[in-house]
Amino acid sequence: MNNPLLADWGGDFRLPPFADIADDDFAPAFDAALAEGRAGVAAIAGSDAAPDFANTIAALEQADALLDRVAGVFFNLLGSDANPAREALARDLAAKLSAYASEVTSNRALFARIEDLWARRDDLGLDAEQARVLMLYRRMFLRAGAALGETESARMAGIKARLASLGTQFTQNLLADERDWFMPLEDLAGLPDFVIDAARAAAGERGREGHGVTLNRSLIVPFLQYSPRRDLREKAYRAWAARGANGGATDNRAIAAETLALRAERAALLGHESFAAYKLETEMARTPAAVRDLLMRVWAPAREKALEDAEAMAALLRADGHAGPLEPWDWRYYAEKRRRALHDFDEAALKPYLSLDAMIAAAFDVAHRLFGLEFRPLDVPLYHPDARAWEVTRGGRHMAVFIGDYFARPSKRSGAWCSTFRGQKKLGGEQRPVVVNTCNFARGNPALLSWDDARTLFHEFGHALHQILSDVTHGFISGTSVARDFVELPSQLYEHWLEVDQVIETHARHWQTGAPMPADLRAKLKAAATWDQGFATVEYVACALVDLAFHEGAPPADPMQRQADVLEAIGMPRAIGMRHATPHFAHVFAGDGYAAGYYSYMWSEVMDADAFAAFEAAGDAFDPDLAARLERHILSAGGSEEGEVLYTAFRGRMPGVDALLKGRGLVVA
């Protein structure tokens, strides 16, 4: 019990004792937690008592309490502050944790108890949430292979163990490529101050003098936007696009091929014609055909708009003395040039009004206006000096601890995400969540965000609110434990409040003078709101279509060739690259959460555009009745109902795609 991960966590908020945890503590803590979990499952499965909800489903949910606690600490640290010891343990744990999960779902005595409950479900006196949880547990067991024969069950366990190891290796390879690449930068011509500052900070983080470009999106994107040096843009872009495909030990292409083959075999064992059919069965979309229909309805107008823009930018390229053709490393540079010319809008003029602290305050203020939440800074030990914490309360009641970890660093994987150290539940006693938003913003003094960065901050905080406001009994369905194509609704919906006049007027103030953003700059920002959406939509939808093609039909022996075939078939503009090419498509290959599911951002966008339209129709972005309905039916409800049921309860109906196309400027308003 000297292991801090296994001891009782005291203090006002029962936070992990970060200051006391050493890397050597994790392996024995996992061993103890797995042993406790196995003992708990064995006791449930071997019980002589007749199955009931309490002694089977509720007991099963609580059997992994210690494992959930230890894993919550480890995997958050692994993603945000990796080191060789943590990466080595992660490789070892992938197989161990997969084996444990397979043991549970292949336990025939345990599954028999669940089937007994299912057969008697109408006579058990279950409330609506218990009935939902019972259904979801049974479905989870069936989809994990609980009804398979012994030979097939053993093969399924082997597949899942191998997939877990492949996903871990994919992630670590990608982090290694991102961590190792650095381009010294001596020519700073054309770069605004915020890019120069970020390039200086990036060099300093790597112990270098001067300035440099890394593969952090918050640095490389503005570099590609502003650097007039076409040769340097090409070098940086090619390195960015080549992550995971550089040959050697960190190459992810063979991992992708093996992953797709194993997923197809897994689906076939369960009687599905493809992994896409298996995966989408429980999502809102239900079928690959429904996904393809949505994506292609958006693809056609987006591609048309992108091709129009490409023609105009190619003319600018030629005017600069380049013969062409327009290349992917040219797009952002000439798009920024056109935006300045057509809208008199330069994002560099915007950034002084978007300091990180101001945007955090804006996100908190919106949550206060909509849901009555209050945020108080906490002075507590955390896992990294960059991380900050706040207590979240409402009416004096403790709701959550929120942690923000905003800056890029070599030890952090790329992207932005929301996770928890502890989720919300009431089973076994009230437990309020500890939620963390992790981003990769460029450092500065102060840190100044791009508009896209600010949207990312709001997006991730929307996910956080889904956890903070969760109000269910069972942790199994709390917070973001919903269908993948529903989970992005709260996050993408929250982005809309960044554009609300009252929010910009209050919080978008110059970091030095405190002056509000000038009216003419706000007007230019709004006028350019749908700028370059042909590009943004094409680079996203192309990824979603490739993901879908990977998981329909026979798995490709060569994923790169399948990717190329899909892009050719849809007429991918040559000057636009996929947002996530296969070797660095972590959404799809670092685990199967978004596999055959990358479309889900757009599926959710159909709903978020329609949902915010309700606030616009009410004439008040902070309409209290709508906010209460949003909390009651979506943010607090977790996975207590199917996504379409929850959305219809909020909005009265399911939406069409028109609001999405209008919001992206792909149809005439």
Active site residues: 460
Q: In what order do the strands lie in the sheet with 434-441?
A: 374-378, 388-394, 397-407, 434-441, 417-422
Of 340, 344, 302, 308, residue with least CA distance to 665: 302
Q: Are 235 and 183 within 8 A, CB to CB?
A: yes
CA angle 195, 207, 199 (to 5 degrees): 5
Rounded CA gap, 114 and 61, in Å?
13
End-to-end CA distance of the chain: 64
Of 669, 530, 661, 657, residue with least CA distance to 606: 657
The two three-digit tokens of residue 200, written as one number: 């200086």
462-475 burial by CB neighbour count: b if 16+ within 10 A, else e?
bbbbbbbbbbbbbb
- The amino acid that residue 52 corresponds to is D
Rounded CA gap, 599 and 655, in Å?
17
> Which residue's structure tokens are 């061993």?
31
Of 231, 147, 219, residue with least CA distance to 181: 219
- The amino acid that residue 329 corresponds to is W
SS3 420: strand
In sequence order, what DSSP letters do the residues of 578-618 get, joined into one string?
A: -SS-GGG-HHHHSSSSSTTTTTHHHHHHHHHHHHHHHHHHH
In sequence order, what DSSP letters do the residues of 470-500 get, joined into one string?
A: ---S-GGGSTT-S-HHHHHHHHHHHHGGGG-
